[in-house]
Structure 1
Amino acid sequence: MRPALSVAGPNFDPVATKNARPTRPNYRCVECGHEVAKWVGRCPECQAWGTVEERAAARPGLAKLVAGPPSMRAKPIAQVPIETARATSTRISELDRVLGGGLVPGAVVLLAGEPGVGKSTLLLEVAYQWADKAPGPALYVTGEESAGQVRLRAERTGNVHDEIYLAAESDLAAVLSHVDEINPGLLIVDSVQTMSSPHVDGSPGGPTQVRAVTSGLVALAKDRGLPVVLVGHVTKDGAVAGPRLLEHLVDVVLHFEGDRHSTLRLVRGVKNRFGAADEVGCFELRDDGIIGVPDPSGLFLTQRDTGVAGTAVTVVVEGKRPLLGELQALVAPTNLPAPRRAVSGLDAARVAMVLAVLERRGRVRIGDKDVFTATVGGMRVLEPAADLALALAVASATREVALPPDMVVLGEVGLAGEVRRVTGVGRRLAEAARLGFTRALIPPDSGKLPPEVRATVVPDIGSALRALYEHAEQQPG
């Protein structure tokens, strides 16, 4: 029999050797960070396929930290220069509102949205405005379209400029070569899911490639002080496609939203290291380009018919901006055994709840009727503050009674029929007063109100319906 090899040495500790845990590699999901002991094809936490990678587990006690020279000397915070971190305006006021003043040198902005919503059109306008004020040329890298296609769009929208450089590339190394050659003041990459790095395995758009490409572009932006705008795809659920790490790497995350059948577009801030993360910019997409809409409330009320029953005006808050929106309802008798409930621009579950409260607490009989509810102008209203306006619009359509044309309605409706207060009633009514509204139905305890608006407090759905019917009795005829 072969004798056993001895591992004993001058520093051999049999007790430590016995108690030491065996080191083995563990595995981690690159999308959600969940760790598992062995490799699996599908992450048990986020259910993503092919995102689990091997990562060697560190042995506690063996790694020693060695101090090295710092990259830069620490300074008192009051002595840190801020000139290099000042934002440069994009000359698009609605986009500057969301970005917090403009593009900061070295900032990486991720603009995500559905296909065809207008991301490329907006970024061509950004590149044109940037090149026109000459802080440096703009480099537009497209990985989805040919250079000729982008040129045709630029011709159509009037965004052709000598200081806009266009490159059709999908290789990160080639993009870096273009940056070295042109030395741009702004880099736009459309889109990050089409780019690939030659030093990383995986197909373009996969979690590994997206993470490597984004990390390389972030390092480029920080090293050169170059603002970089990345276009990102979204999943069918509306989330940014790719690993969750993508949103952590960038400085700003913007969502570009809009209905295909409407010209209204919203740029919503989700993450912003340089300003507020709850701002919203409004745009109108036209055949000749995209323009900012500084007064979107007027856009939603331009074609409003004030003499028709079944309409109600409310004020919703998008970010920090109050917007007036019109809700419409149509109630019609039906011969179907199951009456229809059609919803457009509203939360279907919320509409169903409001209809149930209206029938049970307000005694408005709509159980045997078709009910159609919608918003006007492509606006999406998901805020509970619009519950009372929706209820009164349905009641108005049922009784054929029109609300006063100068009245706005605010309030969240509970299952018991109570009207609950909402935030920022004063700001909402101030915006309504600016557009000529003089009356309002509001919940109790709404705080300080503008004097231009005569507000009526309605504690429950019954009080709101009585106010509607009293107005109808006062009308001649």
Structure 2
Amino acid sequence: MAKVKSLFRCSACSHEVAKWVGRCPACGAWGAIEESAAAPSTPAGAPAGRRALLPSTAAAPLSMIDSQHTRARPTGVSELDRVLGGGIVAGSVVLLSGEPGVGKSTLLLEVAHQWARRHDERALYVTAEESAGQVRLRADRTGAVHERVYLAAESDLATVLGHVEQVRPTLLVVDSVQTMLAADADGVIGGVTQVRTVTAALTSLAKASGIAVLLVGHVTKDGNVAGPRTLEHLVDVVLQFEGDKHSTLRMVRGVKNRFGSADEVGCFELHEDGIVCVSDPSGLFLHHRTGTVPGTAVTVAMDGKRPLLGEVQGLTVHTQVPAPRRAVSGLDYNRVSMVLAVLQSRCGVYLGKHDVYAATVGGMRLTEPSADLAVALAITSAVRDAPLREGMVILGEVGLAGEVRPVTGLRRRLAEAERLGFTEALVPPGLDRTGLSITVREAVSVRSALALSGLPKRSAESYVEAVD
């Protein structure tokens, strides 16, 4: 008889240990070590290797594989289709994660409504967090009521599978996977074992029946999907729903996508009467601009593959406090501090007696280095109380030596700025201007950028001539 050993494996990271411990030595998760039976050892004298099994389906040449069933079907929500790569693939599992109150349920209820209206097929919306009446009130408010959208307020996995057999939908929405209960699995609702079991069962359902499954996932305080890391490996697509509670802007980012690009971004606006796709987010960030004022500069950020124009604002206030205040909103605090140091050390812009405030508008976050030069010019414009030239967009990374470094996707950024009516660009050197009608001025350093920006000089500041 072959001996059967016991293995102790972490349910969060699959790390194996020789005996049970309370905390996984690999990932640090508490109570995640589970005992399982190991494969029996090979008896002495038995032939080496494993016995071959006859496969149920023979391997076929790749050229003979039919790819029609993997074609994406549009959901009717254009910005979500953009992130998914054209729509939802039959039999796929999509995980949408986000913070509480960001609008996940509102978005997926709209997806179910558009699916039923566009394809004339049934969609089943399962909620384990709210009552059926609460979901109906939201549907009335957002106009998502449709006769082919079915609703079930259930938290038991077996009951949900029964609803699927009765309704026979082509789209299943589960809100949320952390509140579902699998009676045949150990652990509490929302625990590692329960979440993994529920997700594995719904994934098997999708692959066997061809039903597209949309799962709502909670996030931790760090912004990661709650539950085991294997959860993201089980599903086909992982989307992150982001938004500031003080702004109506919402963004869906692709984190993983087996059917398309994983660096697309979809933009939405969340209102009381529902969620609306924003096809031109640059206009959303700049719609309030009526002219140039001191302390403002426009730059172009790349969010995935999408260029977005954003406004950087700077404000300086004279103070007698020995340690002036530095306040930053929507920007990287460390990079703003570095830009302030470069301005004072390399360009003679004295800020030792000024409180400095730097921010973005419209809820936009600019964390990439390409916004450094715009921050530098916005703050200098505020110090001198003089506006930049109207119609100018500013791009460039700033180094500690005061040089302006190139940024990626510069032509695509300038094309977006030109589309929105900007006529002049201040950029790093080395750009191929072929096909660009926008006036391009190249700056090799922050000093030369200040000279090219049209800001008035001060006697206390020295500049070098710009190289154009």
CA distance in 2, matches of 1:416, 1:356: 10
d(CA) in 2 for partners of 1:90 and 1:374? 36
- 2:19 pairs, out of 33, 38, 42, with 38
AA aligned opposite 2:236: D
Give the counterpart of 2:246 among 242, 250, 261.
261
Instruction: Determine if the alignment matches structure 1 residue 102 to structure 2 residue 87.
Output: yes
Distance 1:450 1:356, change over 3 A: farther
1:302-317 matches, within 5 Å, as 302-317=287-302
Deviations 1:392-429 (A, max 9, x none): 11111111121112100101111221111011111100
Partner of 1:251: 236
Structure 1 residues 388 and 223, CA gap change in structure 2 (3 angstroms): same
2:34 maps to 1:53: yes
Between 325-334 and 350-359, report the one with greater CA deviation. 350-359
Q: Which one-letter code corresponds to 1:29 in the other structure?
A: C
Correspondence list, 1:22-421, <5 A: 25-58=6-39, 61=42, 65-421=50-406
2:465 aligns to what?
none
TM-score, normalisation: structure 1? 0.91
Q: Structure 1 325/220 Cα, relative in aligned 2: closer, same or farther at 3 Å? A: same
Aligned-pair CA distance for 1:61 = 4.7
Rounded Cα–Cα distance in structure 1 between residues aligned with 2:366 and 2:320? 30
Name the SS of the counterpart of 1:133 in structure 2. Answer: helix
How has the CA–CA distance of structure 1 residues 442 and 60 changed in structure 2, closer, same or farther, with 3 Å as cutoff? Answer: farther
Counterpart-to-counterpart distance in 2, 1:150 and 1:401: 53
Q: TM-score, normalization: structure 2?
A: 0.93
Q: In 1, Cα distance between the equivalents of 2:389 and 2:269?
A: 30
Q: Which amino acid aligns with 2:205?
A: L
Residue 16 of structure 1 corresponds to none
Contact 2:5 2:40 in 1 (8 A): no
CA gap 1:67/1:23 in 2 versus in 1, 3 angstroms: closer
Aligned pairs, number = 452
Cα distance change, pair 87–282 in 1 and its aligned pair in 2 (3 A) = same
Q: Secondary structure at the match of 2:199?
A: helix
2:91 counterpart letter in structure 1: G
Max Rg structure: 1
Between stretches 421-430 and 410-419, larger displacement belongs to: 410-419
Which whole-Å CA distance do the structure 2 matches of 1:135 and 1:77 have between them? 33
Q: CA deviation at 1:370?
A: 1.1
User: What whole-Å deviation, never above 9, does each CA across 1:236-292 have from its counterpart, x for those lacking one?
Assistant: 111111110000000000000111111111100010000000000111111110111
The structural deviation recorded for 1:359 is 1.7
Letter in 2 for 1:54: E
- 1:38 deviates by 2.7
Q: Secondary structure at the match of 2:89?
A: coil
Distance 1:363 1:26 in 2: 66
What is the CA distance between 1:34 and its match in structure 2? 2.9
**Structure 1 SS opposite 2:207:** helix
Aligned CA RMSD, in angstroms, stands at 1.8
Deviation at 1:234, TM superposition (A): 0.8
* Equivalent position of 2:408 in the other structure: 423
Q: Is the 8 A contact 1:430 1:450 kept in 2?
A: no
Q: Which amino acid aligns with 1:286?
A: H
Relative distance call for 1:45 and 1:338 in structure 2 (3 A) is farther
Specify the SS of the correspondent of 2:268: strand
Conserved? CA contact 1:425–1:449, under 8 Å: no
Structure 1 unaligned spans of 5+: 1-6, 8-21
Of stretches 31-40 and 327-336 in structure 1, the one that deviates more from structure 2 is 31-40
Query: Aligned partners of 1:102 and 1:153: how far apart in 2?
Result: 24
For 2:434 and 2:298, locate their aligned partners in 1 and report how far apart those are by CA, in whole Å. 18
Which range moved further: 53-62 or 183-192?
53-62
Q: Write the letter of the residue equivalent to 1:390.
A: V
Deviation at 1:125, TM superposition (A): 0.5
- What is the deviation of 1:450? 4.2
- AA aligned to 1:351 is V
Does the CA contact (< 8 Å) of 1:418 and 1:460 recur in 2?
Answer: yes
Contact 2:89/2:212 (CA < 8 Å) preserved in 1?
yes
